[in-house]
Amino acid sequence: MEKQDKTNDLHEDNNCCAVIPGTRVVLTCSGASNLGQIANAMSTRLQHCGMAKMTCLAAVAAGLPKFISNIETADDLLLIDGCKIACGKKVLENAQINKYRYYVVSDMLPALTKEHRYDQVEEEVNRLWQYFTESI
């Protein structure tokens, strides 16, 4: 029996990735450093608390039309990059998406250095939480 490719089914029909019009959507560059992981944890917490709906930045970078149209229908789009390399911002620029609010973890936590240590991610998210939620 031939294995059927379900890739299109996943991004066309999977409700976990659908964005409901009128919602706040958050995209995150979850880079390999502590800063990227802090950005990802912020997005996860925003979704867990019902403050935003996460969607997949990699799918936008891959040019998947359903994901791009989904974020274009959001009333409020947030992008959180971990560092000044700004991978997430470049993805949105390449997709010609210009209307979003932009946050960079390294700007919000300037004393924090970019490294491959993850033992303080939750502590740093807790430090950012009040500032971040008040700004959105």
Domain total for the chain?
1
- Determine, yes or no, domain membership for 1: no
Q: Is the pLDDT reported for residue 14 higher than 50?
A: no
The two tokens of residue 69 are 């149209």
Helix (H, G, I), strand (E, B) or coil at 101: strand
> Would you give the distance in Å from CA 14 to the centre of its chain?
18
**CA proximity to 97, closest of 71, 66, 63, 62:** 71
- Determine, yes or no, domain membership for 58: yes
Q: Rounded to the nearest 10 degrees, what angle do helices 121-135 and 34-48 cross at?
A: 60
Q: Is the pLDDT reported for residue 21 higher than 60?
A: no
Query: Confidence class of residue 20 from pLDDT cuts 50, 70 and 90?
Result: low
- Range(s) of the domain holding residue 107: 20-135
β-partners of residue 24 are 76
